[in-house]
């Protein structure tokens, strides 16, 4: 999700996210896996549903060629066409220059749309049905799927959507035009480009070496934070016509089926990279380290708002418990950055958009190399969606092999029919009133309701009110 995936390179858990092919701005390629080219499939078979993957990486890292995104098992198991694309990242994908029609921002999202147009025009030649295209993505890739749901010019290019652990209304997923311009201007100065003449600024940046542009991107951030992403989507008046909150509340959302969900411990991954006191150890932190972590998470909120969050995420009977402080900070980060924004998106979309289905993934992989306390981490459902446990050499358990088969079927059935139901298990539709969802693990899906109701009332209702009053 962040550039953090480029650290700890000697550690297996981080290594899997590092690029395994050369990097270049010349990156607009896509991958297609098709059951049509499987010898056992009849050549005159009906067109297959299409699943189009958008990877995460905080809009600053990632590539479709990672082993974990290999589509061959999913395609073969489910008779689906699987597509994955690359898109430009960091400043190369999301630079936005003041008063410049050529560099408005969101180039990376337009790259994604271009890939979708290619799919619409060509996928039938690969045995895919262009009228049954489902977008699916994780983290920033999931937020990207959400941006396509919010951008009318993308609507004709897909029919259904899956959002895994990320949403466009998350605090890290977009910036205002003013903020984007400030960051781009700062980057230009760091690269030695004069900023007074807009036309010359563009020319100067075009001449700069991509490696230098990429290397300097994090220097534009004003302050350290748990999840500092310098170049992300921007409200440009074109791809993104209004602020995400406005688009979600106006009721002009497409009537497309949406499957979305979260992992049990979304926040823990980011503590390791963004908060002092955390490492590949037990990471038992002091009360002061907890409070520092809150400040690093809530960088834009005022003092009173932070106090409200501290109140909610403290066990006041044992406020100095090092384990308690560690676990509470993980929950706070996960709720604030991922869980509550996604649940708010589900809430709005179920009101104004199409059929909405929600899940919570709560199985920790038996081969997860990260410390046990990190739990069911951000990004660790992906291996089950893509069928990795079917690779016997990786050493997953028998339960996990069965579980990944179920997951692939849920996702493929959703792409095929709009319903992820399998084996007679009914997956309830999410409504603002009932707020039902299912748990995904190696047991039968279990129906629950009101995920994180109290915590998300704090993040989605109370904190915005407090910011207004005490701003």
pLDDT digits (tens, 9 = 90+) for 35-65: 986 555 556 679 999 999 999 999 999 999 9
In a domain? residue 296: no
Q: Which helix (H) or strand (E) holds 83?
A: strand 81-85
Residue 148 annotated among the catalytic residues of the structure: no
Domain count, the chain: 1
Are 22 and 291 spatial neighbours (Cβ–Cβ below 8 Å)? no
**Calpha distance 97→453 (Å, rounded):** 40
CA distance linking residue 87 with residue 109, whole number of Å: 7
Residue 132, domain CATH: 3.40.50.1820
Mean pLDDT of all residues in 322-337: 99
Q: Counting runs of H as helices and runs of E as strands, what totals does the chain give?
A: 18, 9
pLDDT in tens, 243-281: 999 999 987 899 999 999 999 999 999 999 999 999 999
What is the reported pLDDT for 423? 85
* 176 classed as catalytic: no
- Indicate if 8 belongs to the active site: no
Mean model confidence pLDDT for the chain: 94
Residue 6 predicted with pLDDT over 90: no
Element (H, E) at 348: helix 340-352
The one catalytic residue in 266, 289, 301, 383 is 266
Boundaries of domain holding 261: 3-267+353-451
DSSP secondary-structure letter at 367? Answer: T
* pLDDT at position 5 over 50: no
Q: Is residue 162 part of a domain?
A: yes
Catalytic residue among 75, 139, 142, 184: 139
pLDDT at residue number 302: 94
Report the percentage of the chain scoring pLDDT > 70: 96
Question: 172 vs 208, 225, 329, 403, 466, CA distance in Å?
Answer: 27, 11, 18, 31, 20
User: pLDDT tier at 12 (50, 70, 90 boundaries)?
Assistant: confident
Q: What would the two tokens of residue 71 be?
A: 């589509």
Catalytic residue among 148, 347, 363, 378: 378
How does strand 356-361 pair with strand 436-440?
parallel
Closest CA to 23 of 70, 71, 93: 93
Give the CA distances from residue 344 to residues 152, 168, 178, 243, in Å, rounded to whole numbers and listed in that order.
21, 11, 25, 15
Cβ-in-10-Å burial (0-12, 13-18, 19+) of 398 comes to: exposed
User: Has residue 64 been placed in a domain?
Assistant: yes
111: tokens are 């790259």
Q: Which is it for the CA torsion 440, 68, 338, 421, positive or negative?
A: negative
How many angstroms separate the CA atoms of 75 and 33, rounded? 6
pLDDT at 10: 66
């Amino acid at each position: 999700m962040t550039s953090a995936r480029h650290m700890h390179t000697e550690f297996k858990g981080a290594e899997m996210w590092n690029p395994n092919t050369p990097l270049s701005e010349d990156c607009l390629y896509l991958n297609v896996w098709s059951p049509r080219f499987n010898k056992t499939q009849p050549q005159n078979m009906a067109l297959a549903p299409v699943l189009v993957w958008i990877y995460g990486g905080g809009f600053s890292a990632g590539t479709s060629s990672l082993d974990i995104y290999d589509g061959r098992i999913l395609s073969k198991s489910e008779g689906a066409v699987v597509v994955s694309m690359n898109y430009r990242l960091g400043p190369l994908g999301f630079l936005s220059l003041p008063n410049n029609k050529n560099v408005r921002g969101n180039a990376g999202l337009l790259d994604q749309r271009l890939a979708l147009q290619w799919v619409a025009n060509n996928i039938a030649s690969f045995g895919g049905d262009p009228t049954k295209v489902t977008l699916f993505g994780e983290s920033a890739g999931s937020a990207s799927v959400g941006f396509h749901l919010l951008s009318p010019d993308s609507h004709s290019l897909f029919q259904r959507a899956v959002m895994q652990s990320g949403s466009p209304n998350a605090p890290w997923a977009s910036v205002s035009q003013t903020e984007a311009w400030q960051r781009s201007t700062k980057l230009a100065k760091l690269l030695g480009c004069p900023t007074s003449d807009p036309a010359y600024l563009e020319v100067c940046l075009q001449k700069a070496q991509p490696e230098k542009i990429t290397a300097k991107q994090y220097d534009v951030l004003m302050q350290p934070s748990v999840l500092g992403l310098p170049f992300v989507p921007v409200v440009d008046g074109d791809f993104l016509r209004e602020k995400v909150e406005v688009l979600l509340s106006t009721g002009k959302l497409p009537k497309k089926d949406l499957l979305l969900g979260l992992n049990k411990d979304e926040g823990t991954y980011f503590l390791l990279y963004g908060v002092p006191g955390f490492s590949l150890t037990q990471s038992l932190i002091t009360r002061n380290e907890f409070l520092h972590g809150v400040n690093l998470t809530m960088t834009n909120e005022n003092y009173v708002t932070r106090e409200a969050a501290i109140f909610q995420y403290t066990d006041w009977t044992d406020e100095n418990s090092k384990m308690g402080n560690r676990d509470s900070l993980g929950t706070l980060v996960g709720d604030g950055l991922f869980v509550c924004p996604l649940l708010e998106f589900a809430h709005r979309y179920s009101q104004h958009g199409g059929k909405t289905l929600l899940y919570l993934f709560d199985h920790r992989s038996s081969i997860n190399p990260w410390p046990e306390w990190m739990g069911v981490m951000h990004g660790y459902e992906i291996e089950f969606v893509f069928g990795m446990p079917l690779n016997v050499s990786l050493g997953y358990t028998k339960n996990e092999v069965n579980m990944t088969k179920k997951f692939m079927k849920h996702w493929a059935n959703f792409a095929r029919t709009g319903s992820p139901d399998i084996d007679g298990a009914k997956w309830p539709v999410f409504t603002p009133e009932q707020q039902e969802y299912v748990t995904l693990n190696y047991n039968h899906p279990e129906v629950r309701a009101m995920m994180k109701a109290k915590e998300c009332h704090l993040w989605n209702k109370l904190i915005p009110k407090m910011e207004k009053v005490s701003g």
